[in-house]
Amino acid sequence: MVDRLSSHGIPINWEIVSGIAGDGVVGRPHIARAMVQIGAASDVQEVFDLWISPGTPGYVHRYALEPVRAVELVRAAGGVAVIAHPARGDEGPQPVELVERMAAVGLGGIEVDHPMHDRTEREFWRGVAESLSIVATGSSDDHGSLTGHRLGCETTDPDALEALIAGASGAVPLTGV
């Protein structure tokens, strides 16, 4: 992505991006922050909208495990899978058909209460979770300064957490939580 952006006249380099990421794994948010830092954009959202989302000049597709297969692997390992903020994927909202296929192989829940889900999205995905008999969860999806330090602004209901734990085969009771 850095190379693509550079080829489009953005004066960005790996040193700037990796410096922002520090010891963490470099991701698109770090590239966005670097572009703001060097004055190539006014804010992170502008970078995502114009430069590093699908269909924009700096976007590079990365391999990702097919979602249904990912759920199968999590279940085979004795875990429970929850799809994160389905209305906020890179390619837009997750199609209900995909979530239905994931549920058919053991999807345990859908993150419904997410800071960027509006009321309509929450109601929609809560209805999908209910119709599929899977758990509706919440999360703050906090990435520190990248998201405005919103740790704990959304949570998962304790009963929902218990339902997820019960859905994991060979689950070990959590201690200290």
CATH of the domain at 27: 1.10.150.650
Q: Hey, what's the torsion of the CAs at 117, 140, 150, 86, to 10 degrees?
A: -30
Number of domains in the chain: 2
Residue with tokens 């990248």: 146
Taking each helix axis from N to C terminus, what angle separates 14-21 and 28-37, rounded to the nearest 10 degrees?
A: 110
* DSSP-derived secondary structure for 53-102: STTSTT--------HHHHHHHHHHTT--EEE--GGGBTTBSPPHHHHHHH
User: Per residue of the chain (177 residues), what is the pLDDT tens digit?
Assistant: 999 999 999 999 999 999 998 888 899 999 999 999 999 999 999 999 999 999 999 999 988 899 999 999 898 888 999 998 776 555 555 688 899 999 999 999 999 988 777 889 889 999 999 999 999 998 876 666 666 667 776 778 889 888 888 887 754 444 444
Same domain membership, residue 93 and residue 157: yes
What CA–CA distance (Å, rounded) separates 47 from 51? 5
Same domain, 28 and 98: no
pLDDT at 116: 79
CA quadruple 158, 107, 125, 29: dihedral sign:
positive
Q: Residues 48, 74: one domain?
A: no
Per-residue DSSP letter, 35: H
Q: What is the pLDDT of residue 87?
A: 64
**What pLDDT is stored for residue 44 in this prediction?**
92
**Domain harbouring 106, CATH code:** 3.20.20.140
**pTM (whole model) above 0.85:** no
**68-77 burial: b if 16+ Cβ within 10 Å, else e:** bebbbebbee
How far is the CA of 124 from the CAs of 30, 93, 94, 120, 155, in angstroms? Answer: 31, 11, 12, 6, 18
